[in-house]
Amino acid sequence: MSVANSTVPVTVLTGFLGSGKTTLLNRILSENHGKRIAVIENEFGEIGVDNDLVIATEEEIFEMNNGCICCNVRGDLIRILGNLMKRRDKFEHIMIETTGMADPGPVAQTFFMDDEMREAFSLDGVVTLVDAKHVALHIDDGEEVKEQIAFADVVLLNKTDLVSSDDLDRLEDRIQSMNAAARIHRTREAVVEMEHVINIGGFDLDRALEEDPNFTRRYRSEHPHDKAISSVGISTPGDLHPEKFHAWLQNLLENQGPDIFRMKGVLSFSGAEERYVFQGVHMLFDGRMDRPWRKGERANSLVFIGRNLDRIALNAGFNACLT
C-alpha cells in the first residue's frame, strides 16, 4: 500500500443524494488551483459538472478473491482509470463522485488491490458530504450513509444554515463517535477551503495522524456510540513487542477484517528509535518505521473505525502486546 510520489492523487467524494457532492465538485473545479482535474461520475445529477473531462461510469463491483468483501474492487474504475493513465501527464488530479448509495470500500480497495492502479494512482482521501438538515431522515434506514461516514477522512457537514446550532453539535458528536479520525468541517453550499478537501493525504503514511492536535482528544472522549458503527481509539504509553503486535493484528483482521473499515495509528516499538506508522482498509494493511521520536512524544495512538467493535477486547488485546 505504499504510495509513490509520481502517482496521480485521487479524491473520492461520497454522500447521500442531495448532500451537495456536485456543488462541491464544481467549486473544486472552478478554484484557481492550477490543476487539470479529470472527473469520474457514477450518476449524472441535475447539476451539470463544468469540466472538459467528465467520464460517466456505472458501478461495477467484483471480487478479486471469491467471497472476501475486503477484496472487492470497482471494475469500471479500473477500466476508465486504465485509459486515463495513458494521458496522465495531461492532468494532475482525479475526482471520483460516487452515487448516494455507493459503498466506498471497493472504491478505496481498487487503489490497493490492482497492481496497475497502485502504481499509477494514490488515494488522497475520502471526502463525505452530509446534509445536516436531512441526514437524520435516512441515517438509520440503511448502512450506506454510515459506511460513507466511517470511511471518510473528511466530513463536510453541509447546509448548516438550515439547522440550529444545538442540532449541529449533536450531529457532529454522533459523526465523530462513528469516525473519530475524520476531520469535520461545517459548510454552507459546500464552501470550504481547498486545503481541507484536496491533497489531504488520508492514506499517506507520512501524514498519518500528523498535524491534527484534536485527534487524541476526539477518540478519547466518551461520545455516545452509534449502535453499529463506531470508533475505538487506544492511546497509551509504553513500548510494544513488535512480533506480538503483528500477530494480534493479523488475527484481528483475519477474524474481523470485513467489519473494520479504516484503521490508522502511530506506535512505539520496543528497541526502536523511530515511530511505527500504519494505516489500513479492511484487511489491507500498510505500516513502516517513520521518523525518530521527538522528546516527550513517545506513546501509542491508534484508532479503529468499524462495525460492532468490542472496545474492551480491542484494548485488552492491544495492552497484551506491551512489553
Partner 1 sequence: MPDVDVSKLNRGLIAESWFVALEDYIIDLAWSPVAPKLAAVTVEGAVFLIDDLGDSAYFKQIGQHRGGANSLSWRRDGGEFATAGHDGLVKIWEGDSGQEICSIEAGGAWVAKTLYSPRRNVLATAAGKHLKLWNDKRIAFYSSSKHASTIADLAWNPIGPGIAAAAKNGVTLHLSDETAEPRKFHWKGSSLAVSWSPNAHYIVTGEQNATVHFVYVKSGEHAQIRGFSTKVFEVSWDASGRWLATGSGDTFLLCDCGHEGPAGRQPRPFQSHSNKLAQLAFQPDGELLASADADAFLFLWQPIKHDKVVGGVLLSSPASCVRWCDGDKLAVGQEDGRIVVFQIHTVSKGGK
- Binding region for partner 1 (CB under 8 A) out of 52-60, 91-99, 220-228, 243-251: 52-60
At closest approach, how far in Å is the CB of 236 from partner 1? 41
62 makes contact with partner 1 (CB under 8 A): yes
CA–CA distance, 155 with 129 (Å, rounded to integer): 6
Report H helices in the chain. Answer: 21-30, 75-85, 104-113, 115-120, 135-138, 144-151, 165-178, 214-220, 242-256, 311-319
Binds partner 1 by CB under 8 A, chosen from 55, 69, 136, 228: 55
Smaller CB separation from partner 1, 117 or 130: 117
CA–CA distance, 267 with 298 (Å, rounded to integer): 8
Binds partner 1 by CB under 8 A, chosen from 4, 17, 30, 79: 79
Determine the size of the site formed for partner 1 (CB under 8 A). 24
Q: Quick one: the chain helix, strand, coil %, rounded to 5?
A: 35, 30, 35
- Binding region for partner 1 (CB under 8 A) out of 50-58, 135-143, 276-284, 287-295: 50-58
CA–CA distance, 2 with 311 (Å, rounded to integer): 29
Which amino acid does the sequence have at 48?
Answer: G
58 makes contact with partner 1 (CB under 8 A): yes
Binds partner 1 by CB under 8 A, chosen from 63, 140, 206, 274: 63
36 makes contact with partner 1 (CB under 8 A): no
66 makes contact with partner 1 (CB under 8 A): yes
Interhelix angle 104-113/144-151, rounded to 10 degrees, is 40
Query: What is the radius of gyration, based on Cα positions, of the chain?
Result: 19
Site for partner 1 in 98-117 (CB under 8 A): 114-116
At closest approach, how far in Å is the CB of 281 from partner 1? 19
Binds partner 1 by CB under 8 A, chosen from 8, 76, 126, 131: 76
Binding mask 203-232 for partner 1 (x = CB under 8 A): ------------------------------
Per-position DSSP letters for 121-140, written without gaps between them = EEEEEEEEEEETTTHHHHTT
First-residue to last-residue Cα distance in the chain? 28
At closest approach, how far in Å is the CB of 68 from partner 1? 12
At closest approach, how far in Å is the CB of 207 from partner 1? 30
- Binding region for partner 1 (CB under 8 A) out of 79-87, 155-163, 238-246, 304-312: 79-87
Long-range Cβ pairs for the range 107-112 (8 Å, 24+): 107/12, 107/74, 107/77, 108/12, 108/151, 108/203, 108/281, 109/70, 109/71, 109/72, 109/73, 109/281, 109/282, 109/284, 110/73, 110/74, 110/77, 110/78, 111/10, 111/203, 112/1, 112/281, 112/284, 112/286
Smaller CB separation from partner 1, 23 or 57: 57
Smaller CB separation from partner 1, 118 or 218: 118
- Binding region for partner 1 (CB under 8 A) out of 8-16, 73-81, 178-186, 245-253: 73-81
- Binding interface with partner 1 (CB under 8 A): 52-53, 55-58, 60, 62-66, 75-76, 78-80, 83, 86-87, 90, 114-116
